[in-house]
A and B are shown apart, each in its own frame.
Chain A
């Protein structure tokens, strides 16, 4: 059973109680699996991560696995293994991709 590290910031960290958590996930886990497990464990987190209509990540968030934007990997289907680190990032002074952006 792989253990992964999840780092978050601002309101997401407040909901989780701390900015960094360790999580044990099942074999074959993906970035989506990790985030789903987190939302199951922390009330109020789902609405801060996922669009309720599409199930996609909210457009202003971006997620890195081991420093790499998962959109440049396999998106939420990116496999996660032992020792991987997932960062859920909220840009403030730049970014915030919109729904209708390319």
Chain B
């Protein structure tokens, strides 16, 4: 009954993160917080990072929205802790490449659970949902880099 494209979009792992999001809570002692929203559909998140030196020590988020946006940000936070800012930037680049249909990026083990979102690339109107968390991350990295220079 169900189309193969649909089952590739709504993988169990995505629904599992949607229902049991990781790292979903307010972060004590955050160094940066970015609010990112999609005004078209009302999805929104607040991404909170605690950064020490050039390293992300903790990543948390709060938010609401569709399964794709919320699962994506949940998966993303599990990969951020302990990473350097440079690494986080690279992760964003790889995930964005996967969303734009790069087959090599989709095989990238570095992307962890995020690989489950590969099917989103076939749904152009939903790609922005999957990128909501990474848009916030990019902004957070930009602000942190700016802060470090002062």
Q: Do A and B originate from a single complex?
A: no
Interface residues of B (CB under 8 A from A): none
